[in-house]
Structure 1
Amino acid sequence: MTHRDHIPVVIVGGGQAGLSVSYYLTQQGLDHVVLERHEKFHSWRVNRWDSFCLVTPNWQCRLPGFPYRGDDPDGFMVKEEITDYLDAFADTFAPPIVEHCEVTRIAKRPGGGYLVDTSQGNYSTDQVVIATGGYDNPIVPPYADQLDPSILQMHSVDYRRPDQMPEGATLIVGTGQSGVQLMEDLHLEARDVHLAVGPAPRSPRKYRGRDAIDWLYDMGHYEITIDKHPNPQHALTKTNHYMSGRDGGHEIDLRRFAAEGVSLYGSVSGMQGSTVEFLPDLEANLDDADASYLGIRTAIDAFIEKNGIDAPAEPPFEKLWRPEQEITQIDCEAAGITSILWAIGFRPNYGWIDVDVFDAQGRPQFHRGVCREDGFYFIGLGWLNTWGSGRFLGIDEDSRYLADAILAQSKQTLRTAS
């Protein structure tokens, strides 16, 4: 029989979510271990480009017992500052973490609890917290295999800086937060950039004297729970609004970049040889992004008026550019495109979890991270409870809630055993 060390609680994932739960379990004196397949905070250290920075203000960094204490609460930490902040948080309580330990299987244990197999030995445990996030498998569509192999293809997770890309133009596919920031990164280096624009919404940055996020926080948007959201399915599937924290923070209007020479197209629909095909949805996607942008401005205006707040006025919004026609096909060779940068997201990988906590589509099912299987939890996912879940702002509340649930379950296990 395989030897197994018994640990009451196993946390899988050594990022900010897993270590936040560990912080509260440490406070409660509950024995546990954190298993991390790389090193703690690996994604922040390794899977970010050189110019990466937060898009939410520093004041939203509120890890348990360790809120941001720097001198720029309204600024946006760059990558090195973020990892310094995370390391300093971990130093406050010395989490029981085992690094370079990959969990290969989790299954139910006969009689209760779980079996955890890893690359560094096996465990039995009463409770499991999955804190691996949703960024395991970079998404690249199947038709990418049909592209001329002379054209370099790279996913955003592997991008670091403009000089990685070969001479010539780059086509960036995707306009979520990563896609638009990588577009700007290349554009600022005077690289020839083409951008396939998807349906992602955009947000103002500064509006009427304050960051839009500050307004939205005061308006209660970060307190809305998924249970009380007017359209929870839309919230769960909606792409994050794009904007930037670079150089003090600014909004990103793709029309302005088009006017400055970035070539815009609609959503990519296929590839064959050196040909890339697009849907004729560029103008619709730009209009939808602007509608989101204007909706946020209108909501802020209403809040200001309702509360009698003295805030400076803003000039009306104007479209700086619009496409003269919808281009549905380009030849990369003719356009000088030598590389494709994919920025269309990730999919989680839960294939190593052999526990009945998923729906028919493979999505974890829980309420505030607590699954129907006793002692099984998820944390660090978007809308675990609120808009702030999965972000620095909401991780304290989420991890404290789970830690209390874990402690209650632990007491129940002890009562049952006795």
Structure 2
Amino acid sequence: MHGWLALVGLVLIPQEAFWDLDLYRYWMWLGLHDGQWPVLSGTWVYPVGAVVPMLVAALGGTGGGSSYADVWALLVTLLDAAALAVLLQVRRPGLPRSGATTVGAWWWLAFLLLLGPVAMGRLDAVIAPVVVVALTLALNHPRITSALLTAAAWVKVAPGALLIAVFVAVRRPWRSVVVPAAVVSVVVVGTVAALGGLPHVLSFLTEQDQRGLQIEAPGATPWLITALWAPSVTRVLNEPLVTWELHGPGTQAAADVLGALFFLALGAATLLLWWRREQLGDRLWSGGIVRTELLVRGALLLTLAMIVFNKVGSPQYMGWLAPPVAVALALRLPGWRTTAWLALGIAGATQVVFPWFYDGVVLGSPAVTLVLAARNIALVVLLVHTVISLVGPLPDDQPDALRRQDRITSASPAA
């Protein structure tokens, strides 16, 4: 499967699928040949940790025609293989090993295949397998999970939000989650400061403030549809960021509103998870599957909040959906069938839009525009479904679950 993704990105349509890798290669060339390192020499759109995987891929060379993209593809394949191995080891006691371990692994591979080359050719492809491993360890080893998620957040910000779900689901959150995250951050910031880049270490937080309403963002859907017939709404290339945005009546206001709603949505998700924790009370620490359900479903809720209420809608963001779902399926948590199918549909629709028919979106093709709109609606549906699942009875609350007393290793109250 990874061979196919690499074939598409390296051979069939490299400019469309793996274009970002040329940018990564160029940044590493500047660092290695001119000493102009991201963050150390100026502001950068990514956190400083993103230099690490980009520099690893530089083992293949940084010049034109080098093997940079090949090494990157190999790196992602190895990381995904490690995540797959972890999924194959996660199981609920009392279930046959084969029945308990293969569902999540097969789903993970299917999701990556449906998402397409963007699941390999972007920075997000490096952090997704790290998040898979982190979530499987969360309740037994929250300190390791906190360190992994924080390190991943210094590569791409999104995993940092999942620390909220871990914070809610462990008994001693300040000691088990906040302290390890702080230690990792101090090490990163201290290293950057020692190398002279302290003034720019947080530049990634402001570098994208000037973005408009990106054409793929869920919040852009009304204007995306309107643009099919109304000349007042236009598709404009933001050349500095190389992204397509929608310009027209209300688009800038929508971008501004989404900029605020993004943080409000994360805050609302945090309050919902904390309310659920308090409502569950002692049942949360009884050793059943309810705590694992709260953790994994909470991680998915936070992920969806970051996607749905975002003025940016890059296709690689859909990869953030995979880790919570894959872990839930590997643990055979009940009630995840609808979520799993919706996520697969979202991945497949995303690949149709990017990279295969992205020109159709830019040029206003009704067919591919409607596919993108349907994908965005599915994201909202999945968000609503996730909220309902969290507000309603969790699996351990069900009488049949209580009678069976199914317990899973990762839900041990030891943490």
TM-score, normalized by length of structure 1? 0.25
TM-score between the two structures when normalised by the length of structure 2: 0.25
**Which structure is higher in strand share?**
1
Larger radius of gyration: 1
